[in-house]
């Protein structure tokens, strides 16, 4: 009835799935999961993910009945209202007790795999026969839409391969999606699919009349030692309503006489909306008291652990406190102009492996490209069960989308793990939805994207990113770095690691950059943009400014040298991260890019989208308006105007 009251009051919402899965929600929160409403972030709690996020009322009401202060009756009354703690889909930064932000279908399934992987990895690293610190499970509810989305299959394949036996995926099999019965689009044997993937598959034929069957399925999951468990629960969408069993129950409100009928069915006549029988709160309190007892015992174990295993305890406490070690940034390498040149992906490899030695939570991997994007921790094993679950390299295979969403789960596990996910920049398109959710849910994932421009050469337009940087820069809160050399690469890592509540993209070159530029600075990257060089007299403004990122910054500097030889006053600016630069004070931004200097040229081997904001209407944007071309990178750069000759010519035309 709380589901119905909330929807009727809000005049909006999705009651169908919540009504159909009410029994499942009750059993999980009353008889299965360990959690503590007073301490929602307790480390060893079970994790719950609602991948079918439209059914958020199920979770909100379970949280309310369980005693979470984040969902009071007033919050249920404010469902979907601006500023409420009960938004239209669950958001982890809004509601305590919500682990991850879900909504786009299938994402939560992959998040749950990430949460389960984090638990398995940490258990292998820290548990001792006489002191178990890491022992919790991950439960996820998915629907037909989640089952159809490709990301869930990618993630489920990995979960079975990794033998994540503490992961339980509960499939709400109600045979309906928004457009109608699933027979119009989805007729495969979903149980056979998960069985083929390597899951422990159980079916509960009618949870409404057989809640004991669901409890038995959970017991089977508890006894499973190698496989994740897939519980297929057959339900009736919109149970009790006139729309039950049909797609019309998915969303929307009910007629007044229909509400009256539903109340009669459950003998609820005469009660005011949002009424809760007091004994229900007392019943749910039994489970919270169970959780509190477990928490007390866990802290006793932690105290014992610190005494008997002091070295491991120090590392564990570092992770519990966010994963950062004071002074960790001093481990980052630095480069001078005399050092051998490399691609920025090569500099990235050195940075990654250096910080891994001092950051115990750094874990991650590539989508089958570790040898190419150089994102691999050489001193550590691959995560694998049962052989090396403590390994810090994660092999994702060719599964970019689930890699990103699994990384979100790892980042949001709350254990100080710092995940990185790597592929080519062009394939960020496969990952875009999950990257967006990284930003929305404050997940500090570090995305390492190499082969960052048409400069990758021979693979041609299908692999040459053009519009990707512009698209990623448009994502709110996402930090996008395009470093020019080793020092800027180190600076990008410095900022990305420090930002544990927002994701970062580090876009790196395949080709070697021309040099470690004189004037680049790791510390200046934290400003987003800074002056690389300027031959103007003190107090004077330059005649022209050349603004660049990545490998093209060197082209700007070489062009500036030619112009300076002709007597021109030229400033070169590195705009390594637009979002950080935009957040600086007006004084600093005007110091770097003075408003009175209108002659400006931007140079970036990607889409010109967005550059007009920095060069103004009188400036020139040198970018890529097409899809690139197959050829040696220098030939490709020349074709699209990324040469010192062309940049110098464009600058001269402005000066003339």
Known binding-site residues for thiamine diphosphate equal: 54, 103-105, 145, 174, 250, 427
Annotated binding-site residues read 14, 54, 103-105, 144-145, 174, 250, 345, 372, 427, 451, 459, 463, 510
Q: Choosing from 400, 488, 552, 558, which is the catalytic residue? A: 400
The beta strands (E) that lie in 144-189 are given as: 167-173, 176-177, 180-181
Residue 432 near residue 568 (C-beta atoms within 8 A): no
CA angle 253, 255, 259 (to 5 degrees): 90
Q: How far apart are CA 28 and CA 63, in angstroms?
A: 11
What residue has token string 């949280």? Answer: 63
Helix (H, G, I), strand (E, B), or coil: what is residue 127? Answer: coil
DSSP secondary structure of 50-104: ESSGGGHHHHHHHHHHHT-TTS-HHHHHTTT-TT-SS-SS--TTTSTT--S---S
What residue has token string 């001792």? Answer: 128
Secondary-structure breakdown of the chain: helix, strand, coil percentages, each rounded to the nearest 5: 45, 15, 45
Alpha-carbon torsion, ordered 631, 632, 636, 639, to 10 deg: -90
Q: Can 400 be counted among the known catalytic residues? A: yes
In three-state form (DSSP H/G/I as H, E/B as E, the rest C), the secondary structure along 603-626 is ECCCCCCCCHHHHCCCCEEECCCC
Angle between helices 2-10 and 256-265 (to 10 degrees): 170
Residue 179 near residue 208 (C-beta atoms within 8 A): no
Q: How far apart are CA 498 and CA 577, in angstroms?
A: 15
Q: How far apart are CA 641 and CA 605, in angstroms?
A: 9
Annotated binding-site residues for Mg(2+) read 144, 174
The beta strands (E) that lie in 453-578 are given as: 479-481, 504-507, 530-534, 544-548, 570-574
What single-letter DSSP state applies at residue 200? E
Contacts of 324 (CB under 8 A, 6+ apart): 318, 359, 497, 498, 500
Q: How large is the greatest C-alpha to C-alpha distance in the chain, in angstroms?
A: 91
Helix (H, G, I), strand (E, B), or coil: what is residue 423? Answer: strand
Q: How far apart are CA 573 and CA 542, in angstroms?
A: 12
Helix (H, G, I), strand (E, B), or coil: what is residue 478? Answer: coil
What single-letter DSSP state applies at residue 249? G
What does DSSP say about strands 180-181 and 176-177: parallel, antiparallel, or unpaired? Answer: antiparallel
Catalytic annotation, residues: 400
């Amino acid at each position: 009835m709380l589901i119905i009251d909330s929807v009727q009051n809000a005049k909006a919402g999705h009651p169908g799935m919540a009504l159909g899965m009410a029994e499942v929600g009750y059993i999980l929160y009353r008889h299965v999961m360990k959690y503590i409403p007073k301490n929602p972030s307790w480390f060893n709690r079970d994790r719950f993910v609602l991948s079918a996020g439209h059914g958020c009322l199920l979770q909100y009401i379970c949280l309310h009945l369980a005693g979470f202060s984040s969902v009071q009756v007033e919050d249920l009354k404010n469902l979907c209202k601006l500023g409420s703690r009960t938004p239209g889909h669950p958001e982890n930064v809004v509601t305590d007790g919500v682990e991850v932000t879900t909504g786009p279908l299938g994402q939560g399934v992959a998040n749950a795999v990430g949460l389960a992987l984090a638990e398995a990895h940490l258990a292998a690293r820290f548990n001792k026969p006489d002191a178990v610190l890491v022992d919790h499970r991950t439960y996820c509810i998915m629907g037909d839409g989640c089952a159809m989305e490709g990301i869930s299959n990618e993630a489920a394949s990995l979960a079975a391969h990794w033998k994540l036996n503490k992961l339980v995926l509960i499939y709400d099999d109600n045979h309906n999606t928004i457009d109608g019965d699933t027979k119009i689009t989805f007729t495969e044997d979903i149980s056979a699919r998960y069985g083929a993937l390597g899951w422990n598959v159980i079916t509960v034929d009618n949870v409404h009349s057989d809640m004991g069957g669901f409890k038995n399925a959970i017991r089977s999951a508890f006894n499973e030692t190698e496989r994740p468990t897939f519980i297929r629960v057959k339900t009736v969408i919109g149970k009790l309503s006139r729309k039950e069993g049909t797609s019309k129950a998915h969303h929307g409100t009910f007629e007044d006489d229909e509400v009256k009928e539903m109340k009669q069915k459950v003998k609820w006549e005469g009660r005011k909306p949002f009424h809760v029988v007091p004994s229900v709160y007392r019943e749910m309190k039994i489970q919270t008291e169970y959780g509190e007892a477990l928490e007390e015992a866990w802290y006793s174990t932690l105290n014992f652990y610190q005494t008997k295993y002091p070295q491991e305890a120090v590392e564990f406490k570092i992770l519990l406190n966010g994963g950062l070690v004071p002074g960790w940034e001093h481990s980052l390498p630095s480069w001078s102009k005399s050092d051998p040149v490399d691609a920025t992906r090569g500099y990235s490899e050195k940075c990654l492996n250096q910080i891994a030695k001092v950051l115990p939570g750094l874990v991650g991997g590539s989508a089958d490209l570790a040898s190419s994007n150089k994102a691999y921790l050489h001193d550590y094993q691959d995560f694998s069960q049962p052989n090396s679950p403590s390994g810090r390299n994660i092999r994702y295979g060719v599964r970019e989308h689930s890699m990103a969403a699994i990384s979100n789960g790892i980042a949001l596990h709350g254990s100080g793990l710092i995940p990185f996910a790597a592929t080519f920049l062009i394939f960020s398109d496969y990952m875009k939805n999950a990257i967006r959710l990284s930003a929305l849910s404050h997940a500090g994932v570090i995305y390492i994207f190499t082969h960052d421009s048409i400069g990758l050469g021979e693979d041609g337009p299908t692999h040459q990113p053009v519009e990707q940087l512009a698209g990623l820069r448009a994502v709110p809160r996402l930090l996008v770095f395009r470093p020019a050399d080793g020092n800027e690469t180190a600076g990008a890592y410095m900022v990305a690691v420090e930002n544990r509540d927002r994701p970062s993209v580090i876009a790196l070159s395949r080709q070697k950059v021309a040099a470690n530029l004189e004037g680049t600075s790791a510390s200046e990257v934290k400003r987003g943009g800074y002056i690389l060089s300027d031959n103007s007299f003190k107090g004077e403004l330059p005649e022209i400014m050349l603004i660049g990122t990545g490998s093209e910054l060197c082209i700007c500097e070489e062009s500036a040298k030619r112009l300076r030889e002709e007597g021109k006053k030229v400033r070169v600016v590195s705009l390594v991260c637009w979002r950080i630069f935009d957040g600086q004070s007006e004084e600093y931004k005007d110091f770097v890019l003075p408003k009175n200097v209108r002659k400006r040229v931007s140079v970036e081997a990607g889409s010109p989208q967005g550059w007009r904001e920095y060069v103004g209407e009188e400036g020139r944007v040198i970018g890529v308006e097409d899809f690139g071309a197959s050829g040696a990178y220098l030939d490709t750069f020349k074709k699209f105007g990324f040469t010192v000759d062309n940049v110098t010519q464009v600058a001269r035309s402005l000066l003339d």
